Amino acid sequence: MSKLILQGGRRLSGEIFVQGAKNSALPLLAATILGDSVSEIHNCPDLSDVDASINILQYLGCGISRSNNTVVVDPRGMFRYDIPDNLMREMRSSIVFLGAIVAKTGRARISFPGGCELGPRPIDLHLSSLRQLGVIIEEDHGYLDCRCEGRLKGAHITLSFPSVGATENIMLAAATAEGTTIISNPAREPEISDLADYLNSCGARIHGAGESTMYIEGVEKLSGTAHQVIPDRIAATTFMSAAAITGGSLVLREIVPSHLGPVIPVMEEMGCDIKVQGHELKITAPPRLKRVKIIRTLPYPGFPTDAQAPIMSLASVADGTSVFVENIFENRYKHVGELLRLGAKIKVEGRVAVVEGVPRLSGATVCAMDLRGGAALVIAGIAAEGITEVDGLHHIDRGYERIEETLNSIGAKITRVNE
């Protein structure tokens, strides 16, 4: 296991090029199997979740070559349609392969993705949507056995909740279905639009991505293409938070400011000055942040649940009391117990967390329990007095490229220790 040792109390400033979006790269890699030729995915972040997706592509029989942040996938050698338990367990969001595999091969057999740190992570919306497209799904001893007779058929699917993964599964299954699929109440995250852009570049006919109704006109076949992954809006928020908690300043390059729409007003309410120009954003923080009255996590374009933990670290040292309501996941306050060890004053009651800002946190040994909670602990440790150790680094490495190198490049003092 490896851990980070942070020396707190240093003001961060400088500039960062934000990595490609993890939550875009993962469905994009799954989508490459739909094409009848090679795809090049550029600006693909170097993460363990991306490694897990590549392992699945190679197991399915695809050719892979990878250099720096480009992954080249040749799906023409694909000969399997199953994902074994060990590969599914590496990353539960591999469920997004289901729609692509069954659309490509007419079969799919994957082990039921377990829950994760955030809660049970049901997939009922995925399964009911795929059934509406003509997929026959049997649940058998922990496996999902799927098949379809001939091509999938377009359908009008209404999602009771705008699930990101379910929307992606529908897009991947419907792109080559017979007829048109309409999705009412789809997820509208930027990663959904990025997937639609990739698929359309492969010959798909998808309209309305990012809006309240999406139209997918099925086509006979798709080619491969070259595609650049959008910047990671959650990584951007994380690094803005790291600078803000130290009263620092940071320039983010190569971002899409509109993707930070729900986050910027929150950081401005906390006293930060944020200037946006083209694909650049500059944030300058006050010596001490102010509290944020209330944050409710919501589907995009609402405040992102993935930013809840990093912003809670800011609230922990802000002047005043902040209220958080986590509406998306059942169990997304696991970082609270660890923030308390650093001296934070937080009360959790169900989906509500009340954070009473303290003047200063003090260093301690803490443990990351999930990806974004782990990032929140790094942010808090950067500001805490003295030394903080963050264990459970494998959670953080799922979503951040060498997080300590990025933060050290703007003035942090963090060492990775491999035990």
Active site residue 148: no
Toward ligand EPZ, which CB reaches closer, 148 or 328?
Answer: 328
In terms of DSSP H, where are the helices of 91-163?
A: 97-105, 124-132
Toward ligand EPZ, which CB reaches closer, 126 or 291?
Answer: 126
Among the residue ranges 5-13, 115-123, 251-259, 357-365, the one whose residues contact ligand EPZ (CB under 6 A): 115-123
Q: Does 17 bind ligand EPZ (CB under 6 A)?
A: no
Token pair for residue 303?
A: 């405040």
Return the DSSP state at 293: S
Q: Return the residues of window 128-187 that contact ligand EPZ according to CB under 6 A.
A: 161, 163-166, 187
DSSP of 358-411: -S--B--EEE--SHHHHHHHHHHHHHSBSEEEEE-HHHHHTTSSSHHHHHHTTT
Provide the CA 360 distance to its chain's centre, in angstroms. Answer: 30
Q: Does 32 bind ligand EPZ (CB under 6 A)?
A: no
Q: Does 26 bind ligand EPZ (CB under 6 A)?
A: yes
Judged by CB under 6 A, the number of residues near ligand EPZ is: 23
Toward ligand EPZ, which CB reaches closer, 17 or 161?
Answer: 161
Q: Does 372 bind ligand EPZ (CB under 6 A)?
A: yes
DSSP of 284-352: E--SSPBP-SEEEB-STTSB-GGGHHHHHHHHHTSBSEEEEE--S-SS--HHHHHHHHTT-EEEEETTE
HSE of 40, CA atoms in CB hemisphere, 13 A: 7
Q: Does 123 bind ligand EPZ (CB under 6 A)?
A: yes
Q: Does 371 bind ligand EPZ (CB under 6 A)?
A: yes
Decide: 406 and 46 in contact? Cβ < 8 Å: no
Toward ligand EPZ, which CB reaches closer, 77 or 122?
Answer: 122
Q: Does 121 bind ligand EPZ (CB under 6 A)?
A: yes
Region of 141 (left: φ > 0; alpha: ψ -120 to 50; beta: rest) is left
Among the residue ranges 7-15, 40-48, 123-131, 317-325, the one whose residues contact ligand EPZ (CB under 6 A): 123-131
Q: Is the peptide bond prior to 301 cis by the omega test (within 30 degrees of 0)?
A: yes
Q: Does 297 bind ligand EPZ (CB under 6 A)?
A: no
**Which residue in 44, 62, 116, 202 is the catalytic one?**
116
Q: Does 369 bind ligand EPZ (CB under 6 A)?
A: no
Token pair for residue 319?
A: 């002047």
Toward ligand EPZ, which CB reaches closer, 165 or 247?
Answer: 165
Which residues in this chain contact ligand EPZ in the complex, by CB under 6 A? Answer: 22-23, 26, 93, 121-126, 161, 163-166, 187, 305-306, 328-329, 371-372, 399
Q: Which residues are catalytic?
A: 116
